Amino acid sequence: MARPEYQAPPEVFYSECEARKYSQNSRMIDIQVQMSERAVELLALSDEPHFLLDLGCGSGLSGSVLEDQGHTWVGIDISSAMLDVALERDVEGDLLLGDLGQGLPFRAGAFDGAVSISALQWLCNADKSSHHPAKRLYTFFSSLYACMNRTARAVFQFYPENSDQMELVTSQAMRAGFFGGVVVDYPNSTKAKKFFLVLMSGGAAPLPKPMGESEEKEGISYTSKREQLKKMRGKPLKKSREWILEKKERRRRQGKPTRHDTKYSGRKRSGRF
């Protein structure tokens, strides 16, 4: 089947029907969450909460990974149907409808980092006669460079169609002022192979190590049990009472309507109705 970018422009392809899959299809949800977790790992943030951007935030699955790790985020997406799903999911991030190819409307140096999951390849396509992919990528990367602070990284999981596309994307990012390159996880696996463009705004640093370079097995999970436990240390278990109370506290700090805490908050339901 043709790649999604060849089927329709993103604001059309990500229709209500496509957007629904991001709240109903557990396999799609799992993949988005796994790739987002890996992107956050590649951001190499310090332990404090940070102010992050989600570029092509869609239904907010990737944003939820950011908020679960204690960060505050702002998301931008071109599809109103995808953003409607994010609103239904009641995500904590602020959402903006906009086209990355027209540049980002944020204050200089505002963000500590940015993630983007499966969106960047869309910018390599010309959907209108006025679209020039190299120019759109440059406009996007320059505005991203401007709104990030000088220690920040941006990590993009993306699906380059070929080496020319990879070259197009990286050359426009470097032209805009970034350092960095592409990290390929599980390079020997057709199913698990994933491309992450890691951009640094404050000077050159060694690229992070790819995962699974020597793995031949397909469909390997991103984080081994040991690594997962290491990451979780000191953080409340997802959906536990403590996790729910922390999440509610963050919402209150953001001035969002939040129910009072009671002795019933986070209790396990019996499953019977």
Ligand X SMILES: C[S@@+](CC[C@H](N)C(=O)[O-])C[C@H]1O[C@@H](n2cnc3c(N)ncnc32)[C@H](O)[C@@H]1O
Between 114 and 117, whose beta carbon lies closer to ligand X?
117
How many whole angstroms from its chain centre is CA 264?
A: 33
Cβ-in-10-Å burial (0-12, 13-18, 19+) of 167 comes to exposed
User: Distance between CA atoms of 15 and 25, rounded to whole angstroms?
Assistant: 15
Query: Which DSSP string do the residues of 221-253 spell out, in sequence order?
Result: -SS-HHHHHHHHTTSPPTTSHHHHHHHHHHHHH
β-bridge pairing 72-77 and 51-55: parallel
Shortest distance in whole angstroms from residue 63 CB to ligand X: 7
> Judged by CB, which is closer to ligand X: 96, or 245?
96
Give the residue among 30, 86, 97 at the shortest CA–CA distance from 63.
Answer: 86
List strand residue ranges (DSSP E) for 70-225, in order: 72-77, 94-97, 111-117, 148-158, 179-185, 194-200
Q: Nearer to ligand X by C-beta: 136 or 247?
A: 136
Token pair in block for residue 260 = 């009072």
- Least distance between ligand X and beta carbon 36 (Å): 7
Q: Residue 199 forms beta bridges with which residues? A: 154, 180
Which positions touch ligand X (CB under 6 A)?
10, 14, 22, 32, 56-62, 77-79, 82, 99-101, 117-119, 122-123
Confirm if 58 and 82 have CB atoms less than 8 A apart: yes
Minimum CB separation from ligand X for residue 168, in Å?
15
Q: State the minimum distance, in angstroms, from the CB of residue 31 to ligand X.
A: 9
- The residue (of 56 and 160) whose beta carbon lies closer to ligand X is 56
Least spacing, CB of residue 83 vs ligand X, in Å: 8
Q: Which is nearer to ligand X, 121 or 201 (CB)?
A: 121
Task: Find out whether 53 and 110 touch, Cβ atoms under 8 Å.
Answer: no
Q: Output 30 or 242, the one with its CB closest to ligand X.
A: 30
CA atoms in the 13 A half-sphere facing the CB of 132: 6
- Kindly state the smallest distance separating residue 261's Cβ from ligand X, in Å: 28
Q: How far is the CB of 82 from ligand X (least distance, A)?
A: 4
Strands (E) across the chain are located at 51-55, 72-77, 94-97, 111-117, 148-158, 179-185, 194-200
Smaller CB distance to ligand X: residue 117 or 152? 117
